[in-house]
Amino acid sequence: MFVLGGCRRDAIQETHPWHLWKGFSEKDIDTYKSVKHSGGDEALKRHFGFLFHAPIFGGWKNYIALRPRNYSGTYRIGWVIYKKNRLQEASIHKLVLNSSPIRLLSGSELFSGYFFAINEEGEQIDLEIVGSGRLGDGQFPQSRLF
């Protein structure tokens, strides 16, 4: 995984199909508690299976770092992605997180949408941006990468 990531000192990418839950409607998400984001990566324009998170094969390299605002419990991260204003994907990651920053790949400029967080009780919590960067830049080396 470190070879596919293109940098040895970075956290490995943890987004896999078996980690995602898609049984909800994007209309249930409060966009005021979410972080809007538009992709800007010049890499792959589509997912192409696993390649979108394999930078050495042209996968996405840019990320956004997020954390819950005024919350210290565990939570799960989710995203709603649009491509040309059409819903592409709505997923919640099954892996549990703590309040430290998490990095999420930005995607190409064709994608837009928002990231959101859900606590263990299923309530949406506020998210905030704490940074952005490029894989291997060393800014958030211990933060998990989804």
0.85 surpassed by pTM: no
pLDDT one-digit tens code per residue, 119-136: 999 999 999 999 999 888
Can you tell me the distance from the alpha carbon of 68 to that of 56, in angstroms, rounded to the nearest whole number?
Answer: 31
Domain range list for the chain: 2-145
Give the mean pLDDT of the chain: 82
Q: Which residues of 120-133 are buried (b: 16+ CB within 10 A; e: fewer)?
A: eeeebbebeebebb
